A and B are shown apart, each in its own frame.
Chain A
Amino acid sequence: MRIDEKLALDAFKTDKESHIIIRHEICRKQCTTKQCLFVCPGHLYSYNEELDEIVVEFAGCLECGTCMVACQDGAIDWAYPKGEFGVQYRYG
């Protein structure tokens, strides 16, 4: 099963605003490894070549925080989604 199909099984309540802010200037200036593209269990990060920007599909976030820990450059400003929003596990 593809990862996006797996995520589609989960219950999400999606906020209009992203709880993950990427500071592109840090990515461009300092980051050589782009760990976010690999470490996210939801595979939510991608690189947009045209814009030279990392893009995150925050709506599918499982709220683990791995990206924030792995990004030692501090380019990922990460907060929990506001109350009522984000993934709602039914099993956990």
Chain B
Amino acid sequence: MDKIDVVIAGGGLAGLACAYRLADKGLQVIVVERGDFPGSKNVTGGRLYLMPVRSLAGDMLDDAPFERKVVRERWSLMGKGNSLNIDFTGEKFRGEGHSYTLLRARFDRWLSEKLMGKGVFVIPKYRVDDLLWEGESVAGIRAGSEEIAAHVVVAADGVLSFMAEKAGLRPKMTPKNYAVGMKEVIELSEEKINDRFNVESGEGCAQLFLGDVTQGIFGGGFLYTNRDTLSIGIVAGIQGLMKKAPPVEAHALMDAFKEKYEIKRLIDGGKLVEYSAHIIPEGGYNGISKLYGNGIVAVGDAAGFALNMGVTVRGMEFAIASGTIAADTIVAAKEANDFTAKALSDYERRLQETFVMRDLAACREMPEFLDNESFFSYYPDNFPGFLEKIMWFGDGPKEKIGATLWKEMKGSGMLSFKRLKELYNIRKI
């Protein structure tokens, strides 16, 4: 069978970015997407940090349909019955485009249309069912009754990557390494969003919530402003959900979140237009799969590229960067006419020179560090609690601030060995 250069399983950001670069370099590439159109099976929180991928992406993201430029960052520690917020904005964030909110059905579809303009075949409505093999080497894909033979298959089929699994790149998925995200898109007028989040048109807010929103389970809540919608959701570690006693129904966390005083007013009058769910790699550096084999590479979520640092969560720029770098590797492999694992191992070496592997490696202790109920119940309960004590005036004289704080810190165990050890462990991350 005649082979094309590359077939890409999955038209998400990693697959499309890979195709974009390959097309620029003149390789023949076909993208196979199971949804009605690229983006129709994708979910993000979410926002894209543009800076890390700006030079890699070249002109790919010019005129991209971003929703809003994030100029306001908020973190909320949610206690039981109170909350503490940090609200950050900066001239730098309001000036240069740093990160942008987006919606995948719109965004990925736009990128796929840009690709088709370059002559790339993007075939929707086909599920990649299996890999084709020639001996020990992957030699293409099968989608329904169609077979596409290719020198290289790019597994860009997302976090559940069945192709990476079939190729022996990804081990069995464990509950500890994944979280489930549930999200609602709520329609609200642009003006109302501007007013409620204290931003101008085109500017947006990104907010993360920690604590009572997941009832102590690893994870948190998120709220991103789009142009005239809000993306609001909950992320919960699958293992945490499984161990929760008494058990809690995942979707009930979402409902309880929206009922919170802190949220209710922000979404009031909005119209729910979509409910979605997706899982997220949480294994960090140690959760990365094997990245290449004979005739195959894995990119984006399919490779496990995502990074949760508690105060920031990243995935899409890893997808774009890994897709692009995989393409560069394949271009070099084609020049050498060598598509073996040995030749494609250059993909990993190239990644190690970029933020993809460097950021993930630098944060390799993060999943262990965050795998600690303290961050999801103890601190979110106690920090707002301290403030409550300081702010509240009851009848009778008020105790001195310092004395109150000291008593609270001692009483809550903030000065215990366990807490000091947690503080000491911060140096690792």
Contact = CB atoms under 8 A, between A and B. Distances in A.
B273 A92 contact: no
A35 B276 CA distance: 20
B238 interface: yes
Nearest to A43: B251
A89 B273 CA distance: 10
Interface string A4-22: 0011011001000000000
Contact of B173 (A6, A43, A69): A69
Contacts of B322: none
A64 B277 contact: yes
Nearest to A13: B36
Contacts of A39: 180, 238, 241-242, 250
A66 interface: yes
Contacts of A82: 127, 144
Contact of A88 (B40, B178, B249): B40
Contacts of A33: 242
Given A3-B251, A83-B143, A91 B229 contact: yes
Contacts of B275: 6-7, 9-10, 62
Interface centre among A40, A43, A90 (most CB of B within 10 A): A90
Nearest to A64: B277
Contacts of A72: 175
Contact of B278 (A9, A64, A88, A91): A64
A38 interface: yes
Interface in A23-80: 33, 35, 37-43, 62-66, 68-70, 72, 79-80
Contacts of A40: 250-251
Interface in B33-57: 34-36, 39-44
B104 A92 contact: yes
Contacts of B173: 65, 68-69
A79 B42 CA distance: 16
Given A64-B180, A82-B144, A69 B250 contact: no
Nearest to A89: B105
B103 A91 contact: yes
B303 to A, nearest CB: 16
B185 interface: yes
B249 A9 contact: no
Contacts of B276: 10, 62, 87, 89, 91-92
B4 interface: no
Nearest to A79: B162
B201 to A, nearest CB: 20
A41 B184 CA distance: 12
A81 B180 contact: no
B267 interface: no
Given A89-B104, A92-B40, 17 more contacts: A9-B274, A35-B242, A37-B249, A41-B180, A43-B250, A65-B160, A70-B242, A80-B34, A80-B162, A82-B127, A83-B34, A83-B125, A87-B276, A88-B36, A91-B104, A91-B105, A92-B103
28 contacts: A1-B255, A1-B272, A7-B275, A9-B273, A9-B275, A10-B274, A38-B250, A39-B250, A40-B250, A40-B251, A41-B182, A41-B277, A64-B278, A64-B279, A65-B159, A68-B160, A70-B241, A81-B34, A83-B34, A83-B127, A87-B276, A88-B35, A89-B43, A89-B105, A91-B106, A91-B231, A92-B103, A92-B276
Q: Which 10 A-B pairs have the closest CB atoms?
A: A92-B104, A41-B277, A92-B105, A62-B277, A64-B277, A6-B275, A91-B185, A83-B127, A83-B126, A84-B125
Interface of A: 1, 3, 6-7, 9-10, 13, 33, 35, 37-43, 62-66, 68-70, 72, 79-84, 86-92
